[in-house]
Structure 1
Amino acid sequence: MPVTEPACQVSQGGPLDVDRELYDRISATPGARRIVNSFIVPACSGRAWEVPAGHLCRIITVDGPQVGDFNVWNRHDAGERFWAARTRQLQRAHVSTYDRLWSCLPFLRPLLTITKDTLAGYSPGGDGGRVHDLLGTHCDLYVNRLLTGRVLDDQCHANLVRAVRPYGLTEFDVHDVLGVFHCTGLNKHDQYVMKECPARPGDYLEFFAELDLLCALSTCPGGDMSVPMWGPYAHAPVEGCRPIAIVVYAVDDALLEGWTPPPQRAAHSNPGGVGLRSWL
């Protein structure tokens, strides 16, 4: 059977081409980094934090399997935020090392580049696809009310809203997530399925900030996804919920040689020369 080529092709030196040697050098030189921030996001809660451009950030399952729902914005303009659907097209449905998270229109530039993934290549077979999910999105009280008739505030959407409130952001700024450590796929009916999280203590996803970033993460109340969140067998898996650690590193300037932040893209213009945003 012939291989189906991706719709968005990577050409050498093109916009989707990643300088792997640069990111390998940045990520593989532990002696040339220093911790500038570290904290624990407790189970079933949320936290927001900043990652300056040119810094590394590591998301770690400290006590065992736990899914984290992740949002990210340009720290100086929350209108520029992670675009899950476009990232899924430009990269893949489950991201890993050298993949990037892209921002929304009209910006469309990489917010971050994944530099290390201890679960790279993991696949459970069958319906389960991969980890670090872009197929689905975060749980919320609205869908829970829709599916169960109950209103629960213990959901990732509420956790993320509370996390970003100190930064002046609201519910309307929270967007589709990257499901860090989330193992998902599609079944034979093309329906979204979730499998038990494979992460173990010490597993991590590490990324490099291309811009000054504001990040937020919810330690999902679904925990390790060992029991269904909805349906006849669903129940609150409190025993399967665990914390996630965040560590932010500054790296030596010498390692950043050859790197420049992605430029701001100019808005398209109509024939009259008016920027597309104004024209619409």
Structure 2
Amino acid sequence: MGSYPAAYQTEGGALGVDRAFYGRIASETDGRELVEEFTLPIRSGRAWEVPAGHVCRISTPEGPQVGDLNVWNRHDPRERMWAARTRQLQAAHVSTFDRIWSTLPFLRPLLTVTNDTLADYGSDADGGRVHDLLGTRCDPYVNRMLTGEDFDFHCHSNLTRAVLPYGLTEFDVHDVLNVFQCTGLNDEDRYFMKACPAKAGDFFEFFAELDLLCALSTCPGGDLSVPLWGPDAKDPIDVCRPLAVQVYRIPDEQRAGWQQPERAAYGNLHGLRLPRWEDQA
């Protein structure tokens, strides 16, 4: 890997993270109150709310399984996770103390990762890392293009069905955080996917900075140990497993000093001049 410095420096300033605060959120779990819990079956999707100041945990109860995650501001779905900018401000694969940033003109953290049992995975011999922002969700349009067949349980379709009860549609589904997915770029600078390294009981946990609407798909590729396209492709149904979600309310004292992030301070003028009545004469 090259040693050239990152374009966006994240130590201190606007991109700094209070590691002591989020570390306490991760470690001091005795006072948590479970407010929602469910298991997401294979090849399905579900949406749920995470109130600001709450913690959400996504886990692999039965072993390795990839999940495709979307996130919106619960009160304004035009504000949603921005995978490309998060890759620049944080990393192409996120872990503890990284944040997921929202789209323009809002540009603020939607969530902060507080705990990740795969944090020590690092980079493997092939350059693979976990919790991927490099790729996006599988979808029936690309599948039809590559295979000539229709399949309605890709992550894009699962997420589309999941958000319908919240008044959202296919047009609101966006680029994802591939939780537990191991990916990288090969020597040809092309995207690759590897078998998910998660074990039963591994989890990825985050703190909601705003009131959030989340949606998750249990990827129909399962743990991605079976090729999905090409001459060796076959149905990976045997390596598909559920994912579990828990939402916790944390004690008020743990949130002492925390405030919801404000939307971007830029005035949204983009060089345009505001009209004045006297100019109409």
> Structure 1 residue 128: deviation in Å?
4.0
One-letter amino acid of the counterpart of residue 193, structure 2: M
Q: Is the contact made by 1:128 and 1:195 (CA closer than 8 Å) also made in structure 2?
A: no
Query: How far, CA to CA, are the matches of 1:171 and 1:188 in structure 2?
Result: 34
- Structural RMSD (CA): 1.4
Which secondary structure does the structure 2 equivalent of 1:30 belong to?
coil
One-letter amino acid of the counterpart of residue 58, structure 1: R
Which secondary structure does the structure 2 equivalent of 1:40 belong to?
strand
Is 1:24 equivalent to 2:23 in the alignment?
A: yes
Match of 2:234 in 1: 235
Query: How far, CA to CA, are the matches of 1:128 and 1:61 in structure 2?
Result: 23
Q: Is the contact made by 1:22 and 1:258 (CA closer than 8 Å) also made in structure 2?
A: no
Q: Normalization by structure 1: what TM-score?
A: 0.95
Match of 2:190 in 1: 191
Q: Is the contact made by 1:128 and 1:193 (CA closer than 8 Å) also made in structure 2?
A: no
Query: Which stretches in structure 2 are left out of the alignment for 5+ residues?
Result: 276-281
Match of 1:95 in 2: 94
Which secondary structure does the structure 2 equivalent of 1:87 belong to?
helix
Pairing 1:1-280 to 2, within 5 Å after superposition: 3-12=3-12, 14-123=13-122, 125-266=124-265, 267-269=267-269, 270-273=271-274
Match of 2:279 in 1: none
Which secondary structure does the structure 2 equivalent of 1:31 belong to?
coil
Query: Which stretches in structure 1 are left out of the alignment for 5+ residues?
Result: 275-280
Query: How far, CA to CA, are the matches of 2:123 and 2:207 in structure 1?
Result: 28
Query: How far, CA to CA, are the matches of 1:185 and 1:125 in structure 2?
Result: 10
Number of aligned positions between the proteins = 273
One-letter amino acid of the counterpart of residue 272, structure 1: R
Query: How far, CA to CA, are the matches of 2:11 and 2:115 in structure 1?
Result: 23
The farther-off stretch of 264-273 and 44-53 is 264-273
One-letter amino acid of the counterpart of residue 164, structure 2: R
Q: Normalization by structure 2: what TM-score?
A: 0.94
Q: Is the contact made by 1:41 and 1:243 (CA closer than 8 Å) also made in structure 2?
A: yes
Which secondary structure does the structure 2 equivalent of 1:93 belong to?
coil
Q: Is the contact made by 1:128 and 1:194 (CA closer than 8 Å) also made in structure 2?
A: no
What are the Cα deviations for residues 15-43 of structure 1, in whole angstroms up to 9, with x where unaligned? 11000001111221111211000000111
Q: Is the contact made by 2:128 and 2:194 (CA closer than 8 Å) also made in structure 1?
A: no
Percentage of pairs with the same residue: 63
> Structure 1 residue 96: deviation in Å?
0.1
